[in-house]
Amino acid sequence: MARIESRPTRRTRAKHGDQPKLTIEERLLAAMERLLENGHRFAALTVEQLTDEAGIARGTFYLHFRDKGELVARLMSQVTEEIIASTGTWLSDAEDARHQVLQQALVGMVATFKKHQAILAAVNDTAPYDQNVASLYRTMVDRICAQSRVSLDTIKRKGRSRPGATDDVAEVLSWMIVMYCARFIGERNGVELDRLAESLGYISASTAFADPSAAAPAAAKPAAQRKTKSSM
């Protein structure tokens, strides 16, 4: 299992001379995450706080977004795309997927949740009390569920899925992973984070894929029975 590495800090990138220019959205996402990590409440964040932290003018903000709600919607869309991309080929092209592909997909997904833990935890906590935030959160999970159903249908068509691995299974697994990560990933680091990714990968792959060795005992049984009969 690949080790989950934390993202490089801005100071580390500067040390190595690697400072790609961030877009306005990226600067605002980073600013929001820093403010949340420093104890600011998600619902109470103002445009002024975000623009001050991001180092941009308030007028620049309004050239890109109508209000904070549009910014959050755009950021959640960006994070969702990053989550899906982090799963490698599992959510984009599962034609040749095996257990290891899904297990590695969970390594990538857990790393992305860890990277954006502040905003994802804040959205998860705020959703029960804010219908707009709840809608954004549901849109993110629905997108992941939809991609998971496509991938599971693909391995079913290829004859690699476990019997009973229905669309409902894909949805339950997706919600389980998202909700667990949003709630607990902030408490995991290093080896504990690796174990979390390994556990989620094991649960997902064992649920979705048929056991490749399951058919071996069944095929050997008639031969064993013949041997018993011949010895009688």
Q: What is the mean pLDDT of residues 46-50?
A: 94
pLDDT in tens, 93-109: 999 999 999 999 999 99
**Quick one: pLDDT at residue 182?**
87
Q: What is the three-state SS of the chain?
A: CCCCCCCCCHHHHHHCCCCCCCCHHHHHHHHHHHHHHCCCCCCCCCHHHHHHHHCCCHHHHHHHCCCHHHHHHHHHHHHHHHHHHCCCCCCCCCCCCCHHHHHHHHHHHHHHHHHCHHHHHHHHHHHHHCHHHHHHHHHHHHHHHHHHHHHHHHHHHCCCECCCCCHHHHHHHHHHHHHHHHHHHHHCCHHHHHHHHHHHHHHHHHHHECCCCCHHHHHHHHHHHHHHHHCC
Confidence of residue 2 (pLDDT cuts 50, 70, 90): low
**Quick one: pLDDT at residue 43?**
87
Confidence of residue 10 (pLDDT cuts 50, 70, 90): very low
pLDDT in tens, 178-203: 999 988 998 899 999 999 999 999 99
Per the prediction, the chain carries an average pLDDT of 85
